[in-house]
Amino acid sequence: MVLPRFLIVEARFYEEISDHLYEGAAAVLGNAGLGFDRIAVPGALEIPAVISIANQGAKPKYEGYVALGCVIRGETSHYETVCNESARGLQVLAVSLGLPIGNGILTCETWEQAVVRARPDEQNKGGGAAQACIAVFEARRRFGLVKP
């Protein structure tokens, strides 16, 4: 039996936050017995594009995707654009292609909020995103849509 593989796509704009999110996601995927790879992108807006690229071809390599990153409100409206467009991009991919995607892109007002949400020993949002991805993967399996 081939081990299902997942791809963690992480925005590295806030590296410390990304490391915490990754730690939580990797632990959940590993504890579930799933294989995974990791790829870094500069920011949250690039995550949907990389997932779309990774999913191309007749036989995509990955069964699911975990999107990790953080957007912290600044002084301009750029925050709303990045939050809304990254979430919209992930949702479009998930719904239109039926992809298991766990959205672990934090949208926070402050650095302190982000740290609490990212740390595996606190809110563990990276782990939660991996769990969401696994849940959709299992639904696909239930409906016979997972490759043998």
Kindly list the catalytic residues: 78
Rounded CA separation 140/99 (Å): 9
| DSSP-H helix ranges across the chain | 15-31, 47-54, 78-97, 111-118, 125-142
Residue 128 Cα distances to 41, 99, 118, angstroms:
20, 17, 10
Rounded to an integer, what distance in angstroms lies between the CA atom of residue 54 and that of residue 49?
A: 9
